[in-house]
């Protein structure tokens, strides 16, 4: 693609907010037209792993849990933050096990999504876990409280259409993997 | 659905970071097991409108622009923040016009997505703009610099599969609308 678009140039940056979970960086930038702006804020945080775990009898592993940002109990696929010292697939395997007790031999990276291109460099890593099976105990974080459910692929599509699954990361991940499975045939 | 999951209770809250673009709220919460945590951070911001604008000859209006969070030139559907005083559809119509110069009579709300259920209450409003047509001039924000492109539905699917479109909000929105169009037949 031929494009006349120009990237910005970062002239200065500083941390303006820092917690264990979330940090904010303020940047001074020269933008495309040469103008300088000094109040561009970028959200820093670890990347995210999402797992579409499919059992041998073609059921998808879902998790229902309370999420305090939206103040709702939501139905999602297993997902969580990748630790700084983890490869994305290692984080995906850990989150699947912790939240559901399921494991799988083969993890396929189906897509990576940019969570919020204007505000952050955080990526979602979308995995298909093939022939997933339960090993027993879940290992929740202290703030987690999760119920595990299984859905057929038809049920999963209905949950999407009805808005029962509507977290952005999960919706994009589920559609990507369904599309990938359709293309495999 | 019968669930034993419990919502949290907010005991105290305060603003700990505020800019025109982004604010952070710190909350003290009683979580599901009765424990008190005093360091829960929530990102505040306006909701987002995304527009899948389809022309009478079944082409989708795309925008290519530099996004400084990820430091990349990205291909997306038109999208942007809904203003505090705007209804979501009004914001969607404004963003489509500003970024592309296109308008449409009929906007259909196809889905709403929770952008980040743990961290925020921000929603994505996904619209299908039917029979969209160009009126002429775009009206970029000062920090915007946008190239407009058209793609057929087949080309759009190939862009998704190839990872050429990979912003999370856009991927979820495009799949939702393609699915909606498929179901309409």
Mean pLDDT of A102-106: 97
* B43/A32 touch (CB, cutoff 8 Å), yes or no: no
For chain B, the C-alpha Rg in angstroms (whole number) is 19
Residue B12 has pLDDT above 90, yes or no: yes
Write down the pLDDT at residue A3.
80
Helices B168-184, B153-161: inter-axial angle, 10-degree rounding:
140
Residue B139 has pLDDT above 80, yes or no: no
Write down the pLDDT at residue A139.
75
Lowest-confidence segment of A115-129, B130-144, B161-175 by average pLDDT: B130-144
Q: Convert the pLDDT of each residue in B89-116 to its tens digit.
A: 999 999 999 999 999 999 999 999 999 9
Write down the pLDDT at residue B2.
75
Q: Convert the pLDDT of each residue in A125-170 to its tens digit.
A: 999 999 999 997 777 776 778 999 999 999 999 999 999 999 999 9
Residue in A closest to B67 by C-alpha:
A118
* A171/B166 touch (CB, cutoff 8 Å), yes or no: no
d(CA B125, CA B21): 19
Write down the pLDDT at residue A67.
96
Residue A80 has pLDDT above 80, yes or no: yes
pLDDT grade, residue A107 (50/70/90)? very high
* A69/B117 touch (CB, cutoff 8 Å), yes or no: yes
Q: Convert the pLDDT of each residue in A123-134 to its tens digit.
A: 999 999 999 999
**Residues 118-147 (B) with a CB less than 8 A from some CB of A:** 118-121, 124, 142-143, 145, 147
Q: Are A168 and B167 in contact (CB under 8 A)?
A: no
Which string of DSSP letters, residue by residue, matches A44-79?
E---EEEEEEB-TTSEEEEEEEEETTTTEEEEE--E
Residue B140 has pLDDT above 90, yes or no: no
pLDDT grade, residue B185 (50/70/90)? confident
- pTM value is 0.95
pLDDT grade, residue B145 (50/70/90)? confident
Mean pLDDT of A112-117: 97
> Does A116 touch chain B if contact means CB atoms closer than 8 Å?
yes
Residue in B closest to A118 by C-alpha:
B69
Q: For residue B148, what are the β-bridge partners?
A: B63
Contacts of A63 (CB under 8 A, 6+ apart): A75, A76, A77, A78, A99, A100, A146, A147, A148, A149
Strand ranges, E, within A23-171: 23-30, 36-44, 48-53, 59-67, 72-76, 79-81, 102-103, 106-114, 123-130, 133-134, 146-152
Write down the pLDDT at residue B156.
98
Residue B137 has pLDDT above 80, yes or no: no
Give the rounded percent of residues in chain B with a pLDDT score beyond 90.
Answer: 89
Q: Are B48 and B88 in contact (CB under 8 A)?
A: no
Mean pLDDT of A25-53: 96
Write down the pLDDT at residue A100.
95
> Does B12 touch chain A if contact means CB atoms closer than 8 Å?
no
Residues of chain B with Cβ-Cβ distance to A50 below 8 Å are none
Write down the pLDDT at residue A2.
75
Residue in A closest to B21 by C-alpha:
A41
In angstroms, the separation between the Cα of residue A90 and the nearest Cα of chain B is 22
* B166/A114 touch (CB, cutoff 8 Å), yes or no: yes
Write down the pLDDT at residue B76.
98
Residue B177 has pLDDT above 80, yes or no: yes
Say what the ipTM of the complex is.
Answer: 0.95
Q: How many helices (H) and strands (E) does chain A have?
A: 3, 12
Mean pLDDT of B141-152: 86
Mean pLDDT of A70-87: 97
Write down the pLDDT at residue B136.
77
Write down the pLDDT at residue B151.
98
Write down the pLDDT at residue B120.
96
Helices A168-184, B168-184: inter-axial angle, 10-degree rounding:
60
Write down the pLDDT at residue A105.
97
> Does B99 touch chain A if contact means CB atoms closer than 8 Å?
no
Mean pLDDT of B63-77: 97
């Amino acid at each position: 693609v031929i494009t006349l678009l120009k990237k910005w140039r970062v002239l200065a940056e500083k941390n303006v907010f820092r917690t264990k979970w979330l940090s904010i960086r303020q940047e001074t930038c020269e933008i495309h037209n040469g103008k300088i702006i000094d109040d561009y804020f970028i959200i820093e945080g670890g990347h995210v792993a999402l797992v579409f775990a499919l059992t041998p009898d073609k059921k998808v592993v879902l998790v229902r849990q309370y999420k305090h940002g939206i103040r709702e109990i939501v139905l999602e696929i297993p997902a969580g933050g990748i630790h700084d010292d983890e490869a994305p697939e290692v984080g995906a395997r850990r989150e699947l096990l912790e939240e559901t007790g399921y494991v799988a031999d083969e993890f396929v990276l189906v897509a990576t999504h940019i969570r919020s291109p204007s505000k952050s460099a955080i990526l979602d890593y979308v995995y298909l876990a093939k022939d997933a099976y339960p090993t027993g105990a879940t290992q929740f974080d202290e703030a987690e409280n999760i119920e595990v459910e299984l859905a057929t692929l038809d049920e999963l599509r209905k949950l999407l259409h009805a808005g029962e699954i509507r977290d952005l990361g999960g919706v994009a991940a589920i559609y990507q993997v369904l599309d990938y499975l359709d293309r495999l045939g």
